[in-house]
Chain A
């Protein structure tokens, strides 16, 4: 079993839709959870990170962590065509540095 599982998609939604992206993980030692956005042929760009369980909101983006279920989510409200990219979840242990990534979910927001 991989430590971090992420559905690769692709996920196609109309502009303005609410998008839900998810990852599950198996290592209960993970404490920090990140979401990166990666445009085609570019490097990953950090969107948000959260520590332990709970919610964090930043503009149109909301990250949720449920450690009891080993499940994290990223919600995108009012999705825009410019949100079309691959979204990577990543996580690490406390005081960790080696990020463990999911394979990424490809999102397409159509006008």
Chain B
């Protein structure tokens, strides 16, 4: 069974460019979460999506960041006009429909974004 897949694994962008990060959840999982790990910081929740729906984007910066999880294809985290402070590791996690009180989240390998 393939785990959560993310690509690209490494992404280099210049200031002002756009970054697109892709996440394919585990087979059978319909919930996707994005987290950001800044240097020397813990993972921070950004957004929770189900197919075609954004459930909670309270952790997303108000500007330049957007996320989607279309009916077909991977989830996309999009960062417009990147700045150096966006340099971080971005992790995607997926979970099945929860059968108990919490979603057990399985993480992908991450995309390491470097902004020059």
Contact = CB atoms under 8 A, between A and B. Distances in A.
Interface of A: 4, 6, 31-32, 36, 41-46, 49, 51, 88, 90, 92, 94-104
Contact of A98 (B59, B101, B107): B59
A96 B102 contact: yes
Contacts of A42: 109-110
**Central interface residue in A92, A95, A98, A103, by most chain B CB within 10 Å:** A98
B105 A99 contact: yes
A95 B108 contact: no
A92 to B, nearest CB: 6
B91 interface: yes
B42 A46 contact: no
**Central interface residue in B40, B42, B103, B106, by most chain A CB within 10 Å:** B42
B91 to A, nearest CB: 6
Interface of B: 4, 6, 31, 33, 35, 40-45, 48, 55-56, 58-59, 91, 95, 101-110, 112
A43 B45 contact: no
Contacts of B101: 31-32, 51, 94-95
Given A94-B101, A97-B103, A99-B105, A88 B43 contact: yes
Contacts, number: 68
A111 B112 CA distance: 31
A97 B30 CA distance: 13
A16 B104 CA distance: 30
Contacts of B110: 42-43
8 contacts: A4-B42, A43-B108, A44-B91, A51-B101, A88-B42, A97-B56, A98-B33, A103-B41
B40 A103 contact: yes
B33 A43 contact: no
Given A97-B33, A97-B48, A98-B48, A46 B105 contact: yes
B74 to A, nearest CB: 16
A45 B107 contact: yes
A102 B42 contact: yes
B112 to A, nearest CB: 8
